[in-house]
Amino acid sequence: MSVKIIAVVSAKGGVGKTSICANLSAGMTRLGHTVLSIDLDPQNSLRLHFGISPMHIEGMAPASLASGEWRESISAGQFGGFVLPFGQINEDERQDFEQLLRDEPDYLRLKIEQLDLPANTVVILDTPPGPSVYLMQALSTANITIIVVLPDAASYSTIPMIISLIKKYCIRRSDFIDYFYLINQIDRSRQLASDVSDVINLEMQGKRLGVIHQDQSIPEGLACNVDVLNYDPNSRGAQDFEKCAQALENIFDAQLSAA
């Protein structure tokens, strides 16, 4: 299998994209893939899910503005997988970096190619919410896009906007496989959450990657800088992420068979 790039996106914040990236990384690693998670969000929080120190300042943004070499900024997670943090930069540097991304629309794609990753590598892109130059770069590069939504009306209402961006940057590309959605923090005991989930399932038939149930093990694992699959492998949350990882594996296999 060639390198596959997955963008995890949403139109609104607070839906759990970063946690999903880290736990999907663990799931894909358990399936035998080399996994590199890249943080495209200036909040620079993905590294914390891999046990990287909050004092760690290196990352792809400062490296891009300096040598342009990303490889030395990649860190190994404590339970497998690799992470390339966004890195720590000041406001002027952030503006310079964003201008670089606007000037070079294929920048992310080219930098990933330059890493010369093993053929079975899965690259997972964590993105900031809503339209941005970071999201544009991610969507222009991804083979698969995962739309993360919460089972509430506010999150549901943002789906058309993110799909319009996917249609603009993804659909016409020959290397784009498809987009899927993932419902996060679902609690079927709450009627509204259950109803919204049913509506999303009905309207996006065939596009569901999976669901992540509300499970205290997930934030507890984060508090310990551990993904839920290693923190509590028998939990509902761990099982959900394993199913999502397997669903992605099935999509890769189907695409390979069709090639």
The pLDDT tens digits of the residues spanning 109-156 come to: 999 999 999 999 999 999 999 999 999 999 999 999 999 999 887 888
**Looking at the 3D structure of the chain, how many domains does it have?**
1
- Asked if pLDDT for residue 232 goes beyond 80, the answer is yes
Q: Which amino acid is at 233?
A: P
Q: Which amino acid is at 251?
A: I
Q: What is the chain's Cα-based Rg?
A: 17
Can you tell me the distance from the alpha carbon of 143 to that of 44, in angstroms, rounded to the nearest whole number?
Answer: 23
* Domain CATH for 189: 3.40.50.300
Query: Quick one: pLDDT at residue 8?
Result: 98
- Asked if pLDDT for residue 55 goes beyond 80, the answer is yes
Domain coverage including residue 204? 4-258
Query: Quick one: pLDDT at residue 259?
Result: 64
The answer to whether 28 touches 146, Cβ cutoff 8 Å, is no
Can you tell me the distance from the alpha carbon of 246 to that of 30, in angstroms, rounded to the nearest whole number?
Answer: 10
What's this model's pTM, rounded to 2 decimal places? Answer: 0.94
Which tokens go with 187? 């609690």
- Average pLDDT of the residues in 71-98: 93
- Asked if pLDDT for residue 2 goes beyond 90, the answer is no
CB atoms under 10 Å from CB of 253, counted, come to: 11
The pLDDT tens digits of the residues spanning 172-228 come to: 899 999 999 999 988 766 766 676 777 777 677 778 899 999 999 999 988 888 899
